[in-house]
Structure 1
């Protein structure tokens, strides 16, 4: 049976975390927290482009796994557990030039006690699909 955790309490805890993480390095900014949907934006800038000035596929994967991990963690009703990625794939459909912004939207496919699967789509700000990703996460002790 799925037990919905206290979303507001979990989001407040997450936003108050003192340590920096990879998402901070890429300027990922969370814009929406829901039990079944997490959103964030990421600039296409010097930190996220490949040498030819386009969004690096690895940066898209970082955004996708960050959203999936946070989304999965928000769905765990145990303060001593977290979610870590164990597999991720990504298909890149569109190039995005430097000086733009992309938005990621992650939604759960499966929310189990030991594993979760999340799908993330990344879009341009004009809602054109850039990347689609699926991430499997393990629920582990912290």
Structure 2
């Protein structure tokens, strides 16, 4: 039985309960053959003291969507995914609305994965460019 796109997104968001993703109101909103998109509201909860989006919240969004993308495209019965390195270049300030993070694979190896994550605002302006390396490790039975 094939699972629909809507069912997969709902399932991804359901497993985020009681995690950092729920705390930051991060939700998965779209995916395709080689990408995953998540969004996060920009509210005072994720602001720096001066009222703009905190870079750490942006990095948390990027790592979340990138790790989820790696997770979706592996055999989760045999492997689990961990982020091993993230970089973020913040290019534009945001004070309100939503930001969107689109993760695409630059390398999808058996053990390591490298993802490019572009974070944009609601007007599709580039906010941050991130790179995430993940590793797939075998589950012990």
**What is the TM-score when the length of structure 2 is the normalising length?**
0.86
- Give structure 2 stretches of 5+ with no counterpart: none
- How many residues align? The count is 136
> Contact 2:24–2:40 (CA<8 Å) still a contact in 1?
yes
Say whether 1:106 aligns with 2:98. no
Give the superposed CA RMSD. 2.1
Post-superposition offset of 1:16: 4.2
Greater shift after overlay, 86-95 or 73-82? 73-82
| Runs of 5+ unmatched residues, structure 1 | 1-5
Partner of 2:124: 127
Secondary structure in 2 matching 1:24? helix
Tell me: CA distance 1:127–1:13, structure 2 relative to 1, closer, same or farther (3 Å). Answer: closer
Counterpart position of 1:76: 74
Map 1:55-66 → 2, pairs under 5 A: 55-66=53-64
Cα-to-partner distance string for 1:90-115 (whole Å, 9 max, x where unaligned): 00000001x32111111011111111
Q: 1:103 to 1:71 in 2, by over 3 A?
A: same
The 3-state SS of whatever aligns with 2:63 is helix
Call closer, same or farther: CA 1:117–1:46 in 2, change over 3 Å.
same
Other-structure match for 1:28 = 26
More displaced, 77-86 or 127-136?
A: 77-86
TM-score by length of 1: 0.86
* Alpha carbons of structure 1 residues 115 and 8: separation in structure 2 relative to 1, 3 Å: farther
